[in-house]
Homo-oligomer: A and B are copies of this chain.
Amino acid sequence: MDKHIAPVELEKAVRLINHGPTVLVSASYNGTDDVMAAAWACALDFTPPKLTVVIDKIAKTRELLERSGYFAIQIPNLSQLALTWAVGSQSLHQVPDKLQRSHVELFRIAGQPVPLVAGCSAWLICRLIPEAHNQQVYDLFIGEVTGAWADSRVFSDGHWTFENADARWKSLHHVAGGHFYTIGDPVRP
């Protein structure tokens, strides 16, 4: 594993998504891996850490996470803007080599059930908490975060350090149609 990747305490794991970044969702089942982008992911609880993510019925990633019971939420950065857009605008159903075309490199952390996207700023592995009504009616999935890691060059001591990192580490915040903003400057009340 890359020497910059460090575990994040579970009680601080939701800080990785608290500022509302667009995320990548990955899942794997029976030898098939998929990765998609999602702007609609959100923290749900601190302890144990939980989150929500909205995943359309057309996404292959959805089928994989429903079958395996696990998924990963990861925080892409400015250096992955093209990758994020590419995995968010193609479906593995129509484009079987979507991951290669999108230049996605997957890696695994020993003992963990989900492949992760190399080069992200942070990764949260989640166990699906099945909620059939939410999944069917709202496409809304709930996960309990069972492990979290971040790149120490942009997250350390429980905080993002965007202001001290190279600009390529900035998180992405999608509005619509490929119109993204990066995260900006720190402010304190």
Chain A residues engaging chain B, CB cutoff 8 angstroms:
12, 15, 18-22, 39-45, 50, 52, 54, 78, 81-82, 84-86, 133-134, 138-140, 142, 158-160, 162, 170, 172-176, 178-189
Contacts and interface: CB of A to CB of B under 8 A. Distances in A.
B176 A15 contact: yes
Given A81-B187, A187-B182, A173 B19 contact: yes
A142 B187 CA distance: 30
Nearest to A179: B159
A42 B41 contact: yes
A170 B184 contact: yes
A125 B185 CA distance: 29
A60 B186 CA distance: 30
B180 A189 contact: yes
6 contacts: A18-B176, A19-B173, A52-B52, A133-B133, A181-B184, A184-B184
